[in-house]
Chain A
Amino acid sequence: MVGKLDDALRFQQTALSLRAQRQELLASNIANADTPNYKARDIDFSTALKNALANSGEPSAARLTTSAPAHLAGGNPNTLPDGTPVLYRNATQGNVDGNTVDADVERNQFTDNALRYEAGLTLIGAQIKNLLAAVQG
């Protein structure tokens, strides 16, 4: 029974978790809008979702415990935990200091991603209501 509930909610749950990870990437881009030589990064969401759904049954890769902020996480910084590559954004108008963050693009994507996250939450909420209706009859 629990496994079926899990299956019913898995797709939306995976999508939400990826949206949250993308939000973190975009927040990093915005925070580093003035950092010399920083390159803006993003993921291809459909590839990421495919990868995450394909790997969702398996436990995620083992991680080293980090007890201080300076410790290396042990994971590959160029991929998400499920192996999706984290790409670099193509610069339309690069800065002289080597920074490729376009603040407008990032803010746009950030708001878009936040809205899609909330849409995902609404969908999960509706799914839970449906399941509850089925349970209560």
Chain B
Amino acid sequence: MSLFNIFNVAGSGMSAQGQRLNAVASNIANADSSTSSTGQVYKAKEVVFEAVPMGPQQGTGVQVQQVVEDQSPPKMVYDPKNPQADAKGYVAMPNVNVVEEMVNMISASRSYETNVDTMNAAKTMLLKTLTLGQ
């Protein structure tokens, strides 16, 4: 039954967008962390989506294929009083672009909402089907 598979497809979309939102939250929270648990400066993280076949027919869901780190160089901030400053007085700050992250956050939450709408529409259709002949 194709309509039931919509729950799986939309659910995979919601879960993937949730993970994207998680990465955005982590980036924004660490926008000013000059060091991380690895001892290196925090690098912006981003999820990569991948389409995955779902169900017996043409249903295609989404999953997170990998989480990549932004390899651009860290922002160097002159702050000689900071204990993490190098010999020239510069501190390496994360390469997180907060504006980019906000855009990503809005996009992820919109896509999440659209998937919720999809699921609700499928639910309404199934419920109406159940009342057939009454």
Contact = CB atoms under 8 A, between A and B. Distances in A.
Contacts, number: 111
Interface residues of B, number: 41
A118 B58 CA distance: 22
Interface string A27-57: 1101111111010010000000000000000
Contacts of A80: 57-58
B22 interface: no
B115 interface: yes
A34 B49 contact: yes
Among all A-B residue pairs, the 4 with the closest Cβ atoms: A31-B13, A28-B60, A24-B2, A20-B2
Interface string A13-24: 000010011011
30 contacts: A20-B1, A20-B2, A23-B3, A23-B122, A24-B3, A24-B5, A24-B59, A27-B9, A27-B10, A28-B60, A30-B114, A30-B115, A31-B9, A31-B115, A32-B13, A32-B51, A34-B17, A34-B107, A34-B111, A41-B58, A66-B56, A73-B57, A75-B57, A103-B114, A107-B114, A110-B118, A114-B121, A121-B132, A125-B133, A128-B133
